[in-house]
Chains A and B, each alone.
Chain A
Amino acid sequence: SQQGEEDPQALSIQEGENATMNCSYKTSINNLQWYRQNSGRGLVHLILIRSNEREKHSGRLRVTLDTSKKSSSLLITASRAADTASYFCATWKGYSTLTFGKGTMLLVSP
């Protein structure tokens, strides 16, 4: 069963706009990670936020974590067509497995 669930399932925006995706999870975590998957490719790690962090930045990416609400958000600022991809949140389940949500499909139109 999925530990994380992304919302929305799909998002369509214009270049230059910001894109926000949300992730909710069920159990306590050590960290939460975000991945990107381009069509026909494997997943690529974007950013990791630890449970004692509330916000983290990496380039145009901003991730927040609210452990009291068991939720995280990924903000991509000034989106580009190349940001078109599916985005997944992931958390470790127990000590051995990383579980993923079903993802948010982002379409950025020129």
Chain B
Amino acid sequence: DAGITQSPRHKVTETGTPVTLRCHQTENHRYMYWYRQDPGHGLRLIHYSYGVKDTDKGEVSDGYSVSRSKTEDFLLTLESATSSQTSVYFCAITPGGPGDPGNTIYFGEGSWLTVV
């Protein structure tokens, strides 16, 4: 296991409420990612971080914000949850620079979010 903990693992929330998912790593890796996985779409990148307070958008960032105040924690916030954000959310980490030829990415176990 890569030392990644996601919380909560399962959550049901109502439309319009804020939701925060937490990713905690014990590996001291620089890069952290949030993906969502949906049937027919595979895995899509929401946001990623390349250091404390350094974040950037992925391909499906609308409606999401992130924060990284410590190396080990990367938070994903849905400011006002919508039904289209019902999904499985995965946190991932990678050491060093992602462009390095030898780098692989390690995933957490996922957070199942249902917006009703």
Q: Which residues of A contact B103 (CB under 8 A)?
A: 92
Binds A, one of B11-19, B62-70, B75-83, B104-112: B104-112
**A residues lining the B interface (CB < 8 Å):** 1-2, 30-31, 33, 40-45, 48, 50-51, 88, 90, 92, 94-103
B93-108 Cβ-contact flags toward A at 8 Å (1 or 0): 0100111011111111
Task: Give 18 new A-B contacts, CB below 8 A, not counting A45-B105, A95-B99.
Answer: A33-B104, A41-B109, A42-B107, A42-B108, A43-B90, A43-B107, A48-B102, A48-B104, A50-B101, A88-B43, A94-B99, A96-B98, A97-B45, A97-B48, A98-B98, A100-B35, A102-B41, A103-B42
| Residue positions of B touching A, CB distance < 8 A | 33, 35, 40-43, 45, 48, 50, 56, 58-59, 90, 92, 94, 97-99, 101-110
A44 to B35 alpha-carbon distance, docked (Å):
14
